[in-house]
Amino acid sequence: MPSRLFFDNLGAILTYAVVGTLWNAFTTGTALWGLQQAGFVAPRVQAGLLDFLLFGSLISAVDPVAVLAVFEEVHVNETLFIIVFGESLLNDAVTVVLYKVCNSFVEMGSANVQATDYLKGVASLFVVSLGGAAVGLVFAFLLALTTRFTKRVRIIEPLLVFLIAYAAYLTAEMASLSAILAVTMCGLGCKKYVEANISHKSRTAVKYTMKTLASCAETVIFMLLGISAVDSSKWAWDSGLVLGTLFFILFFRAIGVVLQTWMLNQFRLVPLDKIDQVVMSYGGLRGAVAFALVILLDRTKVPAKDYFVATTIVVVFFTVIVQGLTIKPLVKWLKVKRSEHHKPTLNQELHEHTFDHILAAVEDVVGHHGYHYWRDRWEQFDKKYLSQLLMRRSAYRIRDQIWDVYYRLNIRDAISFVDQGGHILSSAGLTLPSMPSRNSAAETSVTNLLRESGSGACLDLQVIDTVRSGRDREDAVMHHLLCGGLYKPRRRYKASCSRHFISEDAQERQDKEVFQQNMKRRLESFKSTKHNICFTKSKPRLRKTGRKKDGVANTEATNGKPPRDLGFQDTAAVILTMESEEEEESDSSETEKEDDEGIIFVARATSEVLQEGKVSGSLEVCPSPRIIPPSPTCAEKELPWKSGQGDLAVYVSSETTKIVPVDMQTGWNQSMSSLESLASPPCTQAPTLTCLPLHPLGAEEPQAPLHLPSDPRPSFAFPPSLAKAGRSHSESSADIPQQQELQPLMGHKDHTHLSPRTANSHWCIQFNRSGRL
């Protein structure tokens, strides 16, 4: 359900849901009573005014299931759809309250009803609806918070979503609040955070399971309806009642819609025209809720129950079958504005954002606190507090809508490009990281990565997480293709702060920032070029300039430790020893970023790949001094396959793992060959159990065994993955590929064998033994 649309039209939806349902209930009930008084309804239907009101209340509720089923077929424009659908969702509270109130009045007997009871009825309406919504929001919060921490247990994410949503439903039911509202609010409230937190596969699982379950439930309900219709002991027929009901619900709904629309159009920006109104009134389908409510009536209190049951069955059948079938031709005939399925373009996304900002600004100029102002305020609050609390750090940092759209478009392009038989390798003319240096078809890496999700055999929890690396690689590929140009050195900072990116700083800080950004923009772009030059020149300087924190990384750079130009193992070892004292987690992220830097400089392709992933990572190091990201998250948000390393870091609690690659990069800097081989490994990622380029490690092998002492002992101190990786490294290359496959967590094979090595101080010692230190 499109939540933005929902909230934009919330006023209309609430009006139709509350006022419309009340109007329908009262008018239908009264009209039927009038019909009875006039004698069209047989006297054997013993029902008084209250009974008819009760019946009116349960028959007037538009059913979300039926509406959804029908409108999905019809594809009317989104505004219309969301209004009718939203109305059907929200009128549940009204229906339930009305039903309960009327039921209790009927039970008490019309003589005993007092004025206070009416007031209580009205009050209960608010309690039920607001209470239901509150329950839903509480569970939404709970769900979002829980999914934030499910990184290691991806497999239960869909389960969590279902269970907590269902728990919201049950809790509301238990408290006699509106259960549908609870579930709706739960979904609306948590959607944004849960989507960001759970893995791609979980998202797919949830989506399709829900659809399946919903289909099943719908089918069962209507089957029950059908079966009850055949069982004649449950109902009794009265023509006057049935026909009268049918006529009245249509008639009064039409009148109600017209009246409300007229009123709403005074306030709406885009008025609802006549055709919309026709569709709205015709699309008011009744469904299972009405049937369930009527079955629940107590025959002793409501003697006319059987007649009501029959009427309800007929009404439901009529609306669903007749109205449902004819609405599509009607829509076509009336030329209702249909929903347009256009491909999402970056332009639209970008301009939507622009317009939002413009409107908010103009509202500020005019001094009016309008809808956009409050929306803005809400978004600010959300970004500042809620998102930080409820979203996983990695997701929080890289979240940006414009970038998301671009990303998705890129992937789509990449897929279509490859599907058309394009050979990435030949066309781009670059040694893409995804391509191992041997000849493999372009599709192997690209499409295999894309289809890895199909290889369902892997049950390893960690593997599921690394899906993104494939896409990141596609992104890198597409980046090359699209840019088509020279790789530009990455600048380490971002020129501006969007209003919505608020870190833990105070608002004033950011205000000042934005102010300064506005003034200093030109100056900064100037600085950026200077930075780039710095980067290209030397890594140590890079480290220095990059680091805003007093991380150990800096010290390591400047400490005069053995220069990086030594074999990477040595430097790795060195850093390792140094780092092992460090508990500063941020270091790892720093080094990892440095790692990125190094990789960037080494080879275009590699750096591209790594750079793409490590968006936030490098940005964290950007000049804005206040940002001190906790390292595991940095690690996470860096390349997906590095997220495995992030986990490593957590296990090991010495970020040395990150450091190693950096040093490796420096090593690479010196020699083109190692550069090549090292370039490839970064691309390999865990999920590609199927086709892991074996060679990357192979290429490194010559170097590794040379420097490494042969004993892998310390590795056993590590988590098995690390151990294996370590072992793999010290062993012959034959093992490596195998190890690669066993180490989905260590997406980057390169890092795999490096990190475990370096992760352990024991290792360090052994490296030291190799003598270069």
Partner 1 sequence: MGSRSSHAAVIPDVDTIRRETGFSQASLLRLHHRFRALDRDKKGYLSRMDLQQIGALAVNPLGDCIIDSFFPSRSQRLDFSGFVRVLAHFRPVEEESPGIRDPKQPEPLNSRMNKLRFAFQLYDLDGDGLISRQEMLQVLRLMVGVQVTEEQLESIADRTVQEADEDGDGAVSFLEFTKSLEKMNIEQKMSIRILK
Site for partner 1 in 331-350 (CB under 8 A): 340, 342, 345-348, 350
Q: Which of 408, 499, 527, 772 binds partner 1 (CB under 8 A)?
A: 499
Q: Are 755 and 687 in contact (CB under 8 A)?
A: no
Mapped onto helix, strand or coil, the DSSP state of residue 643 is helix
As measured in angstroms, the least distance from the Cβ of 74 to partner 1 is 20
Residues 570-609, mask of contacts with partner 1 (x by CB under 8 A): ----------------------------------------
Q: Is the dihedral of CA 276, 244, 316, 133 positive or negative?
A: positive
Nearest to 8 by CA among 378, 339, 282: 378
Contact between 494 and partner 1 by CB under 8 A: the answer reads yes
Q: Which of 75, 353, 412, 769 binds partner 1 (CB under 8 A)?
A: 353
As measured in angstroms, the least distance from the Cβ of 141 to partner 1 is 24
Q: Give the tokens for residue 138.
A: 């509480």
Where in 155-184 is the site for partner 1 (CB under 8 A)?
Answer: none
Nearest to 671 by CA among 535, 574, 753, 567: 567
Q: Which of 589, 611, 666, 739 binds partner 1 (CB under 8 A)?
A: 611
Cα first-last separation, the chain: 61
Residues 430-459, mask of contacts with partner 1 (x by CB under 8 A): ------------------------------
Contact between 515 and partner 1 by CB under 8 A: the answer reads yes
As measured in angstroms, the least distance from the Cβ of 612 to partner 1 is 8
- Output the furthest CA–CA distance in the chain (Å, rounded): 108
Q: Which of 528, 569, 577, 586 binds partner 1 (CB under 8 A)?
A: 528
Cα→Cα distances 368→4, 361, 362, 471, Å = 22, 10, 9, 44
Nearer to partner 1, 511 or 711 (CB): 511
Q: Give the tokens for residue 258.
A: 């017209």
Where in 454-473 is the site for partner 1 (CB under 8 A)?
Answer: none
Q: Which of 270, 457, 459, 486 binds partner 1 (CB under 8 A)?
A: 270
Cα→Cα distances 109→47, 94, 306, Å = 12, 22, 19
Nearer to partner 1, 542 or 566 (CB): 542
Contact between 271 and partner 1 by CB under 8 A: the answer reads yes
Contact between 363 and partner 1 by CB under 8 A: the answer reads yes
Nearer to partner 1, 127 or 409 (CB): 409
| Stretch binding partner 1 (CB under 8 A), from 401-409, 644-652, 713-721, 727-735 | 401-409
Q: Which of 88, 618, 645, 758 binds partner 1 (CB under 8 A)?
A: 618
Count of residues touching partner 1 (by CB under 8 A) = 71
Residues near 625 by beta carbon (within 8 Å), at least 6 away in sequence = 548
Looking at residue 91, the DSSP 8-state letter turns out to be H
Q: Are 757 and 708 in contact (CB under 8 A)?
A: yes
Q: Give the tokens for residue 149.
A: 């921490």
Nearer to partner 1, 2 or 720 (CB): 2
Nearer to partner 1, 458 or 497 (CB): 497
Nearer to partner 1, 488 or 530 (CB): 488
| Stretch binding partner 1 (CB under 8 A), from 194-202, 298-306, 485-493, 719-727 | 485-493
Mapped onto helix, strand or coil, the DSSP state of residue 653 is coil
Q: Which of 223, 362, 523, 672 binds partner 1 (CB under 8 A)?
A: 362
Contact between 403 and partner 1 by CB under 8 A: the answer reads yes
Contact between 511 and partner 1 by CB under 8 A: the answer reads yes
Q: Which of 591, 624, 656, 674 binds partner 1 (CB under 8 A)?
A: 624
Q: Which of 176, 440, 496, 653 binds partner 1 (CB under 8 A)?
A: 496
Q: Which of 111, 365, 457, 459 binds partner 1 (CB under 8 A)?
A: 365
Q: Give the tokens for residue 288.
A: 């299972």
Q: What backbone torsions phi and psi does residue 196 show, to the nearest 5 degrees? A: -75, -30
As measured in angstroms, the least distance from the Cβ of 465 to partner 1 is 20
DSSP 706-746: HHS-S--GGGGGS-HHHHHHHHHHHS-TTHHHHHHHH-TTS
Contact between 361 and partner 1 by CB under 8 A: the answer reads yes
Q: Give the tokens for residue 553.
A: 């990384």
Q: Are 575 and 657 in contact (CB under 8 A)?
A: no
Q: Which of 397, 593, 642, 727 binds partner 1 (CB under 8 A)?
A: 397
Nearer to partner 1, 399 or 543 (CB): 399
Q: Which of 122, 296, 321, 358 binds partner 1 (CB under 8 A)?
A: 358
Nearest to 75 by CA among 327, 345, 348: 327
Nearer to partner 1, 495 or 765 (CB): 495
| Stretch binding partner 1 (CB under 8 A), from 133-141, 232-240, 358-366, 735-743 | 358-366
Nearer to partner 1, 54 or 360 (CB): 360
As measured in angstroms, the least distance from the Cβ of 506 to partner 1 is 12
**C-alpha 427: how far from chain center:** 34
- Residue whose pair of structure tokens reads 């373009």 in the numeric block: 345
As measured in angstroms, the least distance from the Cβ of 397 to partner 1 is 5
Contact between 495 and partner 1 by CB under 8 A: the answer reads yes
CA dihedral defined by 216, 217, 221, 226, rounded to 10 degrees? 0
Q: Are 431 and 603 in contact (CB under 8 A)?
A: yes
Nearer to partner 1, 175 or 334 (CB): 334
As measured in angstroms, the least distance from the Cβ of 358 to partner 1 is 6
Contact between 364 and partner 1 by CB under 8 A: the answer reads yes
CA-to-CA distance for 508 and 505, rounded, in angstroms?
8
Nearest to 584 by CA among 631, 650, 633, 636: 631
CA-to-CA distance for 95 and 439, rounded, in angstroms?
67
Mapped onto helix, strand or coil, the DSSP state of residue 269 is coil
CA-to-CA distance for 129 and 123, rounded, in angstroms?
10
